[in-house]
Each structure stands twice: as structure tokens, then as C-alpha cells.
Chains A and B, each alone.
Chain A
Amino acid sequence: SQQGEEDPQALSIQEGENATMNCSYKTSINNLQWYRQNSGRGLVHLILIRSNEREKHSGRLRVTLDTSKKSSSLLITASRAADTASYFCATDAIDNFNKFYFGSGTKLNVKP
């Protein structure tokens, strides 16, 4: 299975601090995506980075991708209590855009 892993499994920070979570995967990909899930609810797409990109920004989010190490990181700057959620990375398969593999998630708690 290509299923990735996020690190750390849980992260607790104060409001205003930055949060960094990492994702590792096992085989070559076309794209890597990050999603947020509020407790027990549906996932919400945050950002997509293509395999030929190294860094991407969207608002307070910064994503990096290192295909040589098969890893990605998600940085949330100036975190807010509303950022409290679980964050998942998802990859496709190099030979199949239609199959997706999700990591086990990082549970972020932002304390007000």
C-alpha cells in the first residue's frame, strides 16, 4: 500500500504560533494534496502541489514537496483556535490519477 504517514500524530500549540506537520509517502506521485477535517465531519481541500513543484502558498498555508525524499510539509502560520482540526495528506498513484491514498493524519489543537 502507498498509504502515507503524517508526523506528528498530535500537535498542541498556542494561538499565534506556527504549526508544521509532515507527510511521507512510499511511491512516485503526480500530485499531493492536504485536507482538513473537523471532528467527524467531511474533509475539506486545502491545497494541491504537483510533483514538479517544490513550494506553494495559499493564504496562511505553505506547502513544500521533496520528491527525492517522498515527503511534504504543511506550515500554518499565525495559527488560530479555528485551525483546530485533523490534517491529512493525500497522494495519487503515478500511473493512476483516480486512486488516492491518505495518511493517518495530524491532530492539531490550537489553544486560545
Chain B
Amino acid sequence: EAQVTQNPRYLITVTGKKLTVTCSQNMNHEYMSWYRQDPGLGLRQIYYSMNVEVTDKGDVPEGYKVSRKEKRNFPLILESPSPNQTSLYFCATKGSLYEQYFGPGTRLTVT
């Protein structure tokens, strides 16, 4: 089954403790992206990657890092999380017709 998986699905952490949210896809898509979703703001793009070793900033990249060392994986790294990064995070890939396929989401709480 074609899918995008994210781990963990839920995470509660404390300010300043580095964390990584993993994203993996089995659709062989070149493009992957990370979004955060906050009430009343819709989804905002954090980073995207056009291919292995090629990444670029979205609308809200501050406080986040990404890497794309393999085609199937695109982890999101928060080096020093802060409470304003409490959000629902989605990883997505893009198919040949520009449609995006989303993972199930990771709900992050930073206290």
C-alpha cells in the first residue's frame, strides 16, 4: 500500500530538548515536504526537498532543520524546541500530477 508514515504520532517534550520526527514514503516520489498546522492558520510549509540532498525553506523554517540523505526519508529536526513549536506536523510527498500525499500527522507538545 502506498503510504507516508510518521513517527512518533504523539510527543510531549520539554523546552530545549532536541527531537526528531521521522517521515518515510514508499511511493518513490522525489518531492517531500513538512508542514505545521495550527488552529485558524491552516497549514504552513516549513521545508521541502526536491530530491536527495536538495532542500529549501518554506514559509516558516525558523527553529527547524531537515536533511534528505535518502529518497524515502525526510526527518524534521528541532534542535531546541520551544513552546511556540507546539503544533500538529504533517509530512507530505508530491506525485507526478502535483497532488500531495500526506502522512497521518505528529502532535507535538513542548512544555
The verdict on B74 contacting chain A, using a C-beta distance below 8 Å, is no
User: Do B100 and A102 have beta carbons less than 8 Å apart?
Assistant: no
The verdict on B1 contacting chain A, using a C-beta distance below 8 Å, is no
Render B53-86 as a binary contact track against A, CB cut-off 8 A, 1 for contact: 0001011000000000000000000000000000
Nearest opposing residue in chain A for B45, CB measure? A100
Q: Which of A40, A45, A101, A103 contacts B100 (CB 8 A)?
A: A45
User: Do B99 and A45 have beta carbons less than 8 Å apart?
Assistant: yes
* A contact residues, total (Cβ < 8 Å): 24
Nearest opposing residue in chain B for A46, CB measure? B99
Nearest opposing residue in chain B for A30, CB measure? B98
Chain A residues in 8 Å Cβ range of B59:
1, 3, 99, 101
Chain A 26-53 residues near chain B, CB threshold 8 A: 31, 33, 35, 40-45, 48
User: Do A99 and B48 have beta carbons less than 8 Å apart?
Assistant: yes
Give the interface size class of chain B.
20 to 34
Give Cα distance in the complex from A42 to B104, angstroms: 5
Chain B residues in 8 Å Cβ range of A48:
97-99
Q: Which of A31, A102, A103, A104 contacts B98 (CB 8 A)?
A: A31
Chain B residues in 8 Å Cβ range of A100:
33, 45, 58, 100
| A33-B99, A48-B97 known; A102+B42 contact, CB < 8 A | yes
User: Do A103 and B42 have beta carbons less than 8 Å apart?
Assistant: yes
B43 → A minimal CB distance (Å): 4
The verdict on B50 contacting chain A, using a C-beta distance below 8 Å, is yes
Give Cα distance in the complex from A45 to B97, angstroms: 11
Beyond the given A42-B90, A88-B43, could you list 7 further A-B residue pairs with CB under 8 A, ordered by the A residue number? A3-B44, A33-B99, A40-B88, A40-B107, A42-B4, A98-B33, A100-B100
